[in-house]
C-alpha cells in the first residue's frame, strides 16, 4: 500500500479520486478522522467498494482504528442514516436513523 494512504495520527482526511477511462478524475470517497478510534466514510458508491473498503479496514486495524462510520445521504443532500461498523468484530454495532 502506498505510504500516502497510511492512516496514522497525523491524517485527518483522505479524499480518494479515481481516474476514469477518459482521463478525468471522478470523486470516489472521503474519509475523515472523527475520534481516536473512528473513521467516517462518505461517498462510496461503486461496485469495487467492498474490496477497497476491506483493504482500508485491514490497514485501519493495523494502525489502531476500531470503528468506521458511514452515512446514507438522500438526493436532497441530507443525511438519512448513520451506520457504525466495528472493524475488530467485523460487524455493524449501531444502525438507525440520524
Q: What CATH number has the domain spanning 3-92? A: 3.40.630
Q: From the CB of residue 74, how many other CB atoms can be counted at a distance below 10 Å?
A: 9
Confidence at residue 7, expressed as pLDDT on a 0 to 100 scale? 46
Indicate the pTM of the whole model: 0.49
Confidence at residue 6, expressed as pLDDT on a 0 to 100 scale? 45
Confidence at residue 62, expressed as pLDDT on a 0 to 100 scale? 83
More confident site: 60 or 46: 60
Confidence at residue 26, expressed as pLDDT on a 0 to 100 scale? 66
- The residues, ordered by sequence, that sit 6+ positions from 67 with a Cβ below 8 Å of its Cβ are 35, 37, 38, 39, 84, 85, 86, 87, 93
Amino acid at each position: 500500500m502506498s505510504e500516502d494512504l497510511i492512516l496514522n495520527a497525523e491524517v485527518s482526511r483522505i479524499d480518494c479520486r479515481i481516474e476514469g477511462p477518459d482521463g478525468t478524475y471522478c470523486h470516489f470517497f472521503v474519509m475523515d478522522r472523527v475520534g481516536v478510534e473512528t473513521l467516517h466514510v462518505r461517498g462510496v458508491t461503486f461496485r469495487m467498494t467492498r474490496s477497497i473498503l476491506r483493504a482500508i479496514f485491514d490497514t485501519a486495524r493495523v494502525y489502531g482504528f476500531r470503528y468506521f462510520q458511514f452515512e446514507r445521504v438522500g438526493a436532497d443532500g441530507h443525511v438519512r442514516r448513520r451506520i457504525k461498523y466495528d472493524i475488530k468484530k467485523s460487524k455493524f454495532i449501531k444502525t438507525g436513523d440520524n
